[in-house]
Amino acid sequence: MKMAQILSFVRSFKVLIILLGMVLSHASTWVWSSTRVQFPIPEIETLPNGLQVVGWVNDQLPLVDFSFVVKAGFRDDEEGKSGTAELLAGLLEHQVSSKGGSTSLGGGQSVVVEDDFFTIGLHGLASDAPSLLDLLAKLSTSQSIFSEVEVQREKERLKERWGHLEDYGDLFHSLAYQKIQASGTSYGRSHFLSLQEMNRVSAQDITRYYRKYFTPKNSILLGVGKVDLKALRTKIQNLFPEGSGEQLKRSWKSYVNRRLSFKVSTQKPVVWLIDRPESTQAQVKIGFRVPGILSKEREAWAVANAIVGASFQSRLNTQVRDRYGLTYAIHSSLNYRKELGDFRVSASVRNSHLGPLIRRTLEVLQDFKKGPILDSEVEKAKQYMEGTFFLNHSTLSAIGSRWLAGYIYGLGANHLNEAMNQIQAVTTQDVQSAILNGLDERSLTVVVLGDMKSVGKSLDESQFKVIRQVFPSDLK
């Protein structure tokens, strides 16, 4: 045996021992069977002030992660004040850095805002848990008042970043797809409707948003790792005082970006094109709206996604990649916001192959909708999903974050344990019904990033005649 082979074997053996140690270290709290893992349900307590405190405890490593999640995001910006949440996130990020943050304790930190949620995260040693909680409370208890000077500085920073959007092709492509797909829904504004509108947001607007939504009753505190939340209960109660007292009532308005909306009477789809001069390859996203995450068809759609493009043996891979040789990488995914979902196909392709790739992809999707769907395909998809499900939940941090996302979206406290049972219950007829009802060509979105001259020729040869260019100004 060669030395390289010996070293490779030793490395593999070490990995096996580490994984075995992880399994044994959790054996007392996880229930194992020949085919299932029973995840522990986290400790959940609602404090008198309304704050939900959730704990995923593991004392194997002296580390702790705290996440403070606020149930508000981009779409909670007031009408005419889009960009408020984006500006607030930047201000909080600056505050956590200026206070030293968890980095001063050797840890990490983050402030993330999405369409539906804010998340402030701190990571550090378990022994620093009280200090991390102090810092978290200063950022998330709506006590701050933001000055116009701070807000203006953050506006200038955002203008500078968004002013160079065209320099970041992948980001440009993703944002264009998201805005086009979400146009006409309450998610239509995304980060902001325009920089001009964001520039009208005042410090008073941001403070009002902050005080309205950053309250205990509208938030969840998650602790993962070596942390005793019960022992810290009094401290948490004192750090996060009473809020407004009432549960927030929400109503959202739909927004249409006129620059990214275009309807045609022909059967051919609109292809939205982002020009990337001299690029030898194109990136393409092809998607449809699907029922939301709380739909009864969610599991059937998950199985459908595995059959169509999530696995290496999917229909898209065997047809578009293997049979026709149009791309090396093509895959599909399901993407959910709280009240909007989309099924999305993504691929990289040589410029000259773009038109045929889009055409073959649409043919695969049309054939899938037409049927038949084989029982063997459904069973293989379930096997694939079971394997990836447990691999994606192989660490406590992964379990905690995925549990929290599902819990916030309304899937319940035991959704991780219910997930695979629900998938296994899906029938071939369930998948066929979901596709027939949900795969609606009227919501088809095709967005391409590539060299306009090269891909334009390929699209024209494949009879895609309706092409609209997306400019950076359309997104800002």
DSSP code per residue over 41-65: PPEEEE-TTS-EEEEEE--SSSEEE
For 313-353, give the DSSP string. Answer: TSHHIIIIIIIT---SEEEEEEEEETTEEEEEEEEEEEGGG
Kindly tell me if the per-residue pLDDT of 3 is higher than 50.
Answer: no
Q: What is the pLDDT of residues 96-126, one digit of tens each?
A: 776 655 555 656 888 999 999 999 988 888 8
Q: What pTM does this model have?
A: 0.85
Q: Of 248, 266, 221, nearest to 43 (Cα)?
A: 221
Residue 265 main-chain phi, psi, to 5 deg: -90, -10
Q: Indicate whether 37 pLDDT > 80.
A: no
Q: If pLDDT is split at 50, 70 and 90, which confidence band does 326 have?
A: very high
- Average model confidence (pLDDT) across the chain: 85
d(CA 355, CA 363): 12
Residues 6+ apart with CB under 8 A from 392: 398, 402
pLDDT band for position 412 (cuts 50, 70, 90): very high
Task: Give the pLDDT confidence score for residue 2 in this predicted structure.
Answer: 41
Ranges 220-224, 349-353, 438-442, 471-475: which has the least confidence: 438-442
If one counts every other C-beta atom within 10 angstroms of the C-beta of residue 185, the result is 18
pLDDT tier at 440, thresholds 50, 70, 90: confident
Alpha-carbon distance 339 to 158, whole Å? 27
pLDDT the model gives residue 138: 78
Report the range of poorest mean pLDDT among 6-15, 251-260, 410-419, 430-439.
6-15
Best CA proximity match to 187, nearest among 85, 340, 334: 340
**Tokens (6 digits) for 338:** 């709280």
DSSP SS3 for 281? strand
CA 165 to each of CA 132, 172, 173, 261, 445: distance values in angstroms, whole numbers, following the listed order: 35, 6, 10, 20, 21
Q: What is the pLDDT of residues 164-175, one digit of tens each?
A: 888 889 999 999
For the cut 60, the answer to whether the pLDDT of residue 386 exceeds it is yes
Rounded CA separation 321/397 (Å):
35
What contacts 24+ positions apart, CB below 8 Å, involve 258-264?
Answer: 259/473, 259/474, 260/176, 260/179, 260/180, 260/183, 260/470, 260/474, 261/180, 261/183, 261/184, 262/466, 262/468, 264/466
In 175-307, where do the E strands start and end? 219-225, 271-275, 281-290
Highest mean pLDDT among 6-10, 349-353, 465-469: 349-353
**How many other CB atoms are found less than 10 A from the CB of residue 396?**
20
Question: What phi and psi values does residue 257 have, to the nearest 5 degrees?
Answer: -90, 105
Looking up tokens 């459908």 gives 304
- Residue 354 confidence (pLDDT): 95
> 391-400 pLDDT, tens per residue?
888 887 788 8
Residue 16 token pair: 């096996």
What's the pLDDT at 179? 92
Count of beta carbons in the 10 Å neighbourhood of residue 237: 15
Cβ-in-10-Å burial (0-12, 13-18, 19+) of 259 comes to middle
Contact 348, 328 (CB under 8 A): yes
Structure tokens at 260: 């990214």
Cβ contacts of 99 within 8 Å, gap of 6 or more: 135, 138
3-state secondary structure of 474: helix
Check residue 441 and give its pLDDT: 80
Has residue 141 got a pLDDT over 80? no
Domains of the chain by start residue, with CATH: 43-239 (3.30.830.10), 262-475 (3.30.830.10)
Is 234 a residue whose pLDDT tops 70?
A: yes
For the segment 268-309, what is each residue's pLDDT rounded down to a tens digit? Answer: 688 999 999 999 999 999 999 999 999 999 999 999 999 999
Residue 128: pLDDT band with limits 50, 70, 90: confident
